Amino acid sequence: MTRILRYILQHDTSMAPCIDRGLVSLATCKPKIRASAKPGEWVVGFRPSPAPRGIVVWAGRVAHNVAVGDYERQHRGRSDAVYRAKRGGGFKRLRPDYHPEDDEFRKDTSAPVLIFDPDATWYFGVEPHMLPGKLIHLAAGGRGHRVNGVNEGDAAELQLWLSSIAAPGTCPPAQSRP
């Protein structure tokens, strides 16, 4: 059965997920999701309260993962490529303003970067969509992420529902719009 990892997207600032240059990635935040998600599995981000439970901001199927240092080398200049591997180990922070605390740095560099399949990724931003009744059990709630409570066939139903809304793709993140 295909796993669907779900979480509450507290801040939609175009960093996690990052929608940039036709690629959707998760390079910062959510280290447990980044450490455990495998190609073919789904990640779904939901609006936080006070919005009703079950409002999908984005969803994507993992294509592959990349080590943090390799990601910055391969995708230099992307807004979420903020950690450069140092010779001899460790990372250099390229944006001192982003996650300036040591704990944030540790979490961001502790797990690989997820790259999402552009043919199976939807980003709704300021126009999120409520899960249909038959998938509402997938809605995330609270802190952390969820992987339990997924039924056989939910991944296919999720993709079918997403495809019924729009072609895969993105719109600008909520906080980047005027």
Q: What is the DSSP string of 69-111?
A: HHHHHHTTT-TT--EEEPTTS-EEES-TTSS-SHHHHHHHHSS
Query: What are the CA-CA distances from residue 66 to residues 26, 74, 124, 129 (Å)?
Result: 10, 9, 25, 30
Q: Is residue 160 part of a domain?
A: yes
Nearest Cα residue to 3 out of 169, 165, 178, 150: 150
Residue 73 falls in which region: left (phi positive, over 0), alpha (psi -120 to 50) or beta:
alpha
* Half-sphere exposure (Cβ direction) of 110: Cα atoms closer than 13 Å: 13
Q: How many domains does the chain have?
A: 1
77 within some domain: no
pLDDT at 158: 98
Residue 93 lies in a domain: no
Residues 6+ apart with CB under 8 A from 92: 83, 84, 85, 86
41 lies in some domain: yes
Strand 91-93 vs strand 83-85: parallel, antiparallel, or unpaired? antiparallel
Straight-line distance from the first to the last Cα atom of the chain, in angstroms, rounded to the nearest whole number:
41
Residue 100 lies in a domain: no
Span 45-60, pLDDT tens digits: 999 988 899 999 999 9
Query: How far, in Å, CA of 54 to CA of 25, rounded?
Result: 22
Pairing of strands 42-46, 4-8: parallel
Domain that holds residue 35: 4-64+112-176
Residue 91 lies inside a defined structural domain of this protein: no
Give residue 51's identity as a one-letter amino acid code. Answer: A
Instruction: Mark the ranges of the chain whose per-residue pLDDT is less than 70.
Output: 144, 170-178
